Amino acid sequence: MTFFEVTTRRLTRTDFTSPPRNHLSSDIGRHKVLTQRQKRMKRAFDVVISFTLLCLMLPLMLLVALLLYLEDGSPILQKQCQIGAGGQIFCIYTFRTTLRHDAETRSDFGRFLIATCLDRLPIFLNVFKGDMSLVGPNPLVYTPGIALTDRRRAGLCMSPGLFQARDERAYLENYSLWSDIHVLLANFGILLK
């Protein structure tokens, strides 16, 4: 299977192994399904905020890219395939934090990027494109034959988020745009500390 096929096709039931039945099975279907109006408002919120942040952070992103290139050459980005809403596979891009010739060893600048979360700046492009949302369920890393618990399957009802609520189940069951704003403000407060 080519990279293009992996990143553009939808997952089928055969792409996941069946998880054992457990106490979480009653959670499927109990989360709140977003109305069309809520989906449009959430998407508009994501586009406006991510576009604004990308414009404001562009000089910083260019500086990080230049410093990465000067330290260890190209590539400056690394990718990871994840599972999005409805089982769609997509790739997120982050700044490379490992040495080019040794993917297991973090560079000095890479450790700094991780400590300051600057390595995640390119993910705002995924939010702007619609692969991710600013706030949503935890992203799932795609691996062939991945087994999903019922709770993780329930999280596929909306795009994964760059930021997550503390109680994902409550977030899914009681979604509102205000809950997104609350999660963002809470995370912004943590970053400022």
Residue 168 corresponds to which tokens in the numbers above?
């994902």
In a domain, 28, yes or no: no
What pLDDT is stored for residue 10 in this prediction?
41
Domain span including residue 161: 3-11+35-192
Cβ neighbours of residue 170 closer than 8 Å, sequence gap 6 or more: none
What pLDDT is stored for residue 28 in this prediction?
38
What pLDDT is stored for residue 58 in this prediction?
94
CA distance 45 to 151: 26
CA distance 81 to 89: 7
What pLDDT is stored for residue 46 in this prediction?
92
Q: What's the gap between Cα 156 and its chain centre?
A: 12
What pLDDT is stored for residue 49 in this prediction?
93
Name residue, tokens 């999660």. Answer: 183
Cβ neighbours of residue 32 closer than 8 Å, sequence gap 6 or more: 172, 173, 174, 175
In a domain, 73, yes or no: yes
What pLDDT is stored for residue 124 in this prediction?
93
In a domain, 52, yes or no: yes
In a domain, 184, yes or no: yes
In a domain, 21, yes or no: no
Question: If DSSP codes are grouped into helix, strand and coil, which group holds residue 11?
Answer: coil
In a domain, 54, yes or no: yes
Question: If DSSP codes are grouped into helix, strand and coil, which group holds residue 12?
Answer: coil
What is the domain count for the chain?
A: 1
What pLDDT is stored for residue 155 in this prediction?
61
Mean pLDDT by 10 residues, the chain (193 residues): 37 37 35 76 92 94 92 86 82 86 80 88 92 85 71 69 81 82 79 52
Burial of 110 (0-12, 13-18, 19+ CB in 10 A): buried
Cβ neighbours of residue 45 closer than 8 Å, sequence gap 6 or more: 134, 177, 180
DSSP string, 22-33: -GGGGGTTTSPP
In a domain, 25, yes or no: no
Cβ neighbours of residue 3 closer than 8 Å, sequence gap 6 or more: none
Q: Is the pTM of this model over 0.85?
A: no
In a domain, 30, yes or no: no
